[in-house]
Amino acid sequence: DEYVSKTFDLIKKKDSGIKAFITLRKEEEVLQEVKERRNQGGKLAGVLLAVKDNISTAGIRTTCASKMLEDYVPPYNATVINKVLKEGAVIIGKTNMDEFAMGSTTETSYFGPTRNPWDLERTPGGSSGGSAASIAAGYVSLALGSDTGGSIRAPASFNGAYGLKPSYGTVSRFGLVAYANSLEQIGPIAGNSEYLSMLFSIIAGEDPRDATTISYSAEDKPTVIPLKGLRVGVISNIMESSDKEIVSIFRNITNKMSDEGAVVEETELKNVELALPSYYVIAMSEASSNLARFDGVRYGFSKYNEGNWKETFSKNRGEGFGLEVKRRILLGSFILSAGYYDQYYIRALKARNLIKKNMDSLFSKYDVLISPTMPVLPPKIGEVIDDPVKMYAIDLNTVLANLTAIPAISLPVGFASRLPVGMQIMGRYLSDTFLLGISRFIEQLT
Ligand code: GLN
C-alpha cells in the first residue's frame, strides 16, 4: 500500500532531523490496520493520525515526554481516541511535546527537542510541537494536540498549520493527562481548515466520563462564511509587543479582509497586563495538584522504594521530573499554601474574571477578535529555554482564550523571513463552527 509505505519512507528519511515522534508504531501493524479500517468505513477510514503523547492510547506508550512516564502503557483509550478510531482513523504514532505540556517550544521534552521542518535550527513551538511538525513535514494531514495556554495554536502558527483550541467543554478531557484542568482542551491540528473542521466534529460532544463537557454538535463541513459585514476587532494593545515583520504580514491580511467587506477596527483590551500573571499562577497551581499523583508508588518512575515515604517520593520525583516541571510544582505548591493562597491564587482568579468581563464587552461590539497568534517568529533552539520569563511572555496572545473558555483558531497567513506566520481568530463561547467557517473563507484569500 503506497500511502503507508510512502509515509514511513518519508519519516525514515526526515525524522532523525526533526524528531516529531516519541513513539512511532511498526509499519506492518499500521498497514494492517489501514486495510482493516478502510473496509470498516467511517469519515476517516484508513487515514493516518498523529497523536500528542499526553493523550492516552490503549496499548501504546504514553509518556507525556517525561522520564516519569517513560514506560507507561495505558490500559484504556481517551474518549477522543475512541471517537477517531470509530471513524476509521489509524494512529501512526505519539508525538513529541514539552514535558507534561509545560512549555512553548517542545524543548522541555525528556526525549530532546523537536525541530521545525521549515528551519531545523528553530523550534516548532509548543507544547504540541511534534503534532504540528508532523504536518509541516508532510507525514500526516491530521493530528491531535492539547491547548492549556496556546499549545495547539503556537505550534500551528510556527509550522504553517491550522489549529483550533475549542470552546471549553466541547471536547472530552477523559484520558488526557491533566496539566491544568480549568484551562485545557484537546483539539485538532491540520493541513487545511476543512480537515480541521472534520476532526473537530468527530472529537466534539458530551461525555459522561468528563463532567465538564456539554452537548455540542459541530458541523463536519461548516459553510464558508464570507466576510462582508463581519465586525472584526484588532486588539491593538497586544499587537504592540509583536515583531515588526509579523505585524506587516498581519496588516496585509487585515487589508484583504477589509477588501472583502469586513469592518476591521482597532480596539483595546483592558487589563491585558494581568493575563499572563493570572494564567501562570492558575496553571502552576493546578499543575502542582495534578502532578502529586506521580510519586513512584501510585504512578510513574519508581526506581527508589527504600526508606520512609518522604524519601521514596522525593527521590522518584526528583529524578523523574525535569527542571521546568519541578519549577512549576514548587511555585504552584507555594502559591496554594496557607497564607499565600489569598494573595496569589484568589487574586489570579479575580484577574481572570476581570479579563473575562472585558473580553465579553469587546464581543458585544465585535463578532471576532484577531491578532497575530504569536508575537515572535519561531525561536531558535536554545534561545528562550534558559529564560522562563521570556518563554512565558510569548504566550500573551494565546492565553486569553484559555482564561475565558472561548474558541480560538490559528491559521497561516503568510511568511516573514521564510518562516510561517499565523493569525489568531477568537470568537464568542461556542462559536467554534462559525470561526471554522470564517477560516475556510480566509484560507481562499491567502
Ligand atoms: N506555554 C504555556 C505553558 O507552558 C501553554 C502550554 C500549553 O498550552 N499546554 O503553560
Ligand 1 atom at minimum distance from 391 CA: 1
Q: Tell me, what's the ipTM? A: 0.97
Residue 150 in contact with ligand 1 by CB distance below 6 A: yes
What is the reported pLDDT for 213? 98
What is the reported pLDDT for 423? 98
Residue 283 in contact with ligand 1 by CB distance below 6 A: yes
Distance (Å, whole) CA 395 – CA 85 = 32
Distance (Å, whole) CA 25 – CA 198 = 24
Q: In this predicted model, what pLDDT tens digit does every residue of 337-384 receive, in sequence order?
A: 999 999 999 999 999 999 999 999 999 999 999 999 999 999 999 999
Distance (Å, whole) CA 315 – CA 35 = 46
Q: Provide, rounded to the nearest whole percent, the portion of the chain with pLDDT above 70.
A: 100
Identify the residue whose C-alpha is closest to ligand 1 atom 2: 149
What is the reported pLDDT for 298? 86
What is the reported pLDDT for 31? 98
What is the reported pLDDT for 306? 86
Composition of the chain by helix, strand, coil, percent to 5? 45, 15, 40
CB neighbourhood size of 303 (10 A):
11
What is the reported pLDDT for 75? 97
> In 3D, which of 365, 271, 300 has the Cα closest to residue 110?
300
Ligand 1 atom at minimum distance from 395 CA: 1
Q: In this predicted model, what pLDDT tens digit does every residue of 86-141 receive, in sequence order?
A: 999 999 999 999 999 999 999 999 999 999 999 999 999 999 999 999 999 999 99
Burial 108-131 (b: 16+ CB within 10 A, else e): bbbbebbbbbbbeebbbbbbbbbb
Residue 395 in contact with ligand 1 by CB distance below 6 A: yes
* Cβ contacts of 4 within 8 Å, gap of 6 or more: 27, 30, 31, 34, 48
User: Cell numbers of 63, please?
Assistant: 509518556
Q: In this predicted model, what pLDDT tens digit does every residue of 37-54 receive, in sequence order?
A: 999 999 999 999 999 999
Residue 176 in contact with ligand 1 by CB distance below 6 A: no
Mean pLDDT throughout 210-232? Answer: 94
Place of cell 476532526: 199
Task: Please determine, for residue 217, whether its predicted confidence score (pLDDT) is greater than 90.
Answer: no
Report the SS3 class of residue 37: helix
Q: Is the peptide bond before 66 cis (omega within 30 degrees of 0)?
A: no
What is the reported pLDDT for 72? 97
What is the reported pLDDT for 297? 87
Ligand 1 atom at minimum distance from 280 CA: 10
Identify the residue whose C-alpha is closest to ligand 1 atom 10: 102
Distance (Å, whole) CA 241 – CA 237 = 8
Task: Please determine, for residue 156, whether its predicted confidence score (pLDDT) is greater than 90.
Answer: yes
CA atoms within 13 A on the CB side of 166: 29
pLDDT range class, residue 305, cuts 50, 70, 90: confident
Residue 104 in contact with ligand 1 by CB distance below 6 A: yes
Task: Please determine, for residue 32, whether its predicted confidence score (pLDDT) is greater than 90.
Answer: yes
CA atoms within 13 A on the CB side of 74: 20
> In 3D, which of 265, 232, 238, 266 has the Cα closest to residue 368?
232
What is the reported pLDDT for 389? 92
Ligand 1 atom at minimum distance from 102 CA: 4
Q: End-to-end CA distance of the chain: give it in Å, rounded.
A: 34
Window from 70-74, 120-124, 200-204, 219-223 with minimum mean pLDDT:
219-223
Domains of the chain with CATH codes: 1-446 (3.90.1300.10)
Task: Please determine, for residue 425, whether its predicted confidence score (pLDDT) is greater than 90.
Answer: yes
Q: Are strands 263-267 and 231-235 parallel, antiparallel or unpaired?
A: parallel
Distance (Å, whole) CA 308 – CA 346 = 34
User: Hey, which of 105, 107, 109, 148 would you mutate to test ligand 1's pocket, going by the most ligand atoms within 8 Å of its Cβ?
Assistant: 148
User: Cell numbers of 134, please?
Assistant: 508532523
User: Hey, which of 104, 183, 281 would you mutate to test ligand 1's pocket, going by the most ligand atoms within 8 Å of its Cβ?
Assistant: 104
Residue 398 in contact with ligand 1 by CB distance below 6 A: no
For residue 134, report the distance from its CA to the centre of ligand 1, in Å.
Answer: 19
Query: Torsions phi, psi of 204, nearest 5?
Result: -75, 155
Q: In this predicted model, what pLDDT tens digit does every residue of 244-268 receive, in sequence order?
A: 999 999 999 999 999 999 999 999 9
Residue 149 in contact with ligand 1 by CB distance below 6 A: yes
> In 3D, which of 192, 133, 131 has the Cα closest to residue 14?
133
Residue 99 in contact with ligand 1 by CB distance below 6 A: no
Window from 76-80, 142-146, 300-304, 410-414 with minimum mean pLDDT:
300-304
What is the reported pLDDT for 45? 98
What is the reported pLDDT for 153? 98
The mean pLDDT value of the chain amounts to 97
For residue 170, report the distance from its CA to the centre of ligand 1, in Å.
Answer: 20
User: Cell numbers of 128, please?
Assistant: 504540541
Ligand 1 atom at minimum distance from 283 CA: 10
User: Hey, which of 96, 106, 127, 146 would you mutate to test ligand 1's pocket, going by the most ligand atoms within 8 Å of its Cβ?
Assistant: 127
Instruction: Look up residue 207 and give its amino acid.
Output: D
Say if CB 144 and CB 189 are below 8 A apart: yes
Q: Which one is predicted more confidently, 307 or 169?
A: 169
For residue 391, report the distance from its CA to the centre of ligand 1, in Å.
Answer: 10
What is the reported pLDDT for 155? 98
| Catalytically annotated residues | 52, 127, 151
